[in-house]
Amino acid sequence: MCLPACVAQLASRRSFLRKAGAVTVATAAAPLGAQKQPEQAKRFSFQRTVDLTHTLGPHFPFPVDHAFSLERISTRPKDMWNINRWHFHEHIGTHIDAPFHCSDGDTADRIPAEKLVGPLAVIDIRDRAAGNSDAELTPDDLKAWERRHGPIPAGAVVAMCSGWDARVNDANQFFGRDARGGFHTPGFHVEAVQFLAQERSVIGIATDTISLDPGNTGSFPVHHFWLGQNKWGLENVANLGQLPPSGAMIVVGAPKVAGATGGPSRLLALMGEEQK
């Protein structure tokens, strides 16, 4: 997560970053199959890659200042290479919360690779969230999805699609700021993630908002329960609305940084040929 309680201790060094990252969506057909291919290469042909990642830069909405900077340390043609150094907060941009962010569980580098790939169940609450910035994804939403699409598969990632990614160009809109500066963003209800932990076998959850918890929840029950199960969460996910409710596979390019509590991640959704 990164709502104010997460970064309050840093506020003196930071301020709002008001502009937002550009969103790139890859919809072109993958070029596989354009020539004769060995049999093995065909096995993984797929039709489409959807980028679930916002572009990260100093403009990305974040509650405190100086959360991201690029330091150019070499520039062509004066130097042979263009090179930057990165300086940033682990929980900015489209990113993963590792269990260690608020538990004694795995740091980002210790999440097993096979726990970073799985079928994606997209729970669409856009209609409800459009009229209520405090909307929550509940167990009833999960059960309604299952009535249509079958049981949430083992090894799945369950994503809340609230439509919040469209607000990323305006920090106040993205945070759902009220007159007192409070946050109002949709999130998971703790009973929904308890259901997923206890009744289903899910590797991670994802949201297109800045926090797994609803923004108006000061105690962060979803973070504490879910990460406390040694499971991970994704925040600030882009383009979930472009995916079908079922049928995509997500590959989570989580940083393999020793000791990281999470970090910016490249999220790619693969769409099979069956999606034609």
Q: Nearest approach, Cβ of 179 to a copy of itself (angstroms)?
A: 26
Given the residues 54, 95, 101, 223, the one annotated as active site: 101
| Cα distances (Å, whole numbers) of residue 164 to 44, 70, 91, 135, 159 | 32, 26, 17, 11, 13
Contacts 24+ apart (CB under 8 A), 195-199: 195/139, 195/142, 196/142, 196/152, 196/158, 197/225, 197/226, 197/229, 197/231
260 close to 266: Cβ distance less than 8 angstroms: no
Q: Nearest approach, Cβ of 18 to a copy of itself (angstroms)?
A: 15
54 close to 168: Cβ distance less than 8 angstroms: yes
Q: Nearest approach, Cβ of 187 to a copy of itself (angstroms)?
A: 16
Strand partners for 266: 253
Q: For a copy of itself, which is the closer residue by CB, 117 or 166?
A: 117
Q: For a copy of itself, which is the closer residue by CB, 68 or 129?
A: 68
115 close to 230: Cβ distance less than 8 angstroms: no
Q: For a copy of itself, which is the closer residue by CB, 17 or 129?
A: 17
Tokens of 129: 């969230």
Q: Has 101 been annotated as catalytic?
A: yes
Q: For a copy of itself, which is the closer residue by CB, 135 or 203?
A: 203
Q: Nearest approach, Cβ of 275 to a copy of itself (angstroms)?
A: 8
* Active site members: 101
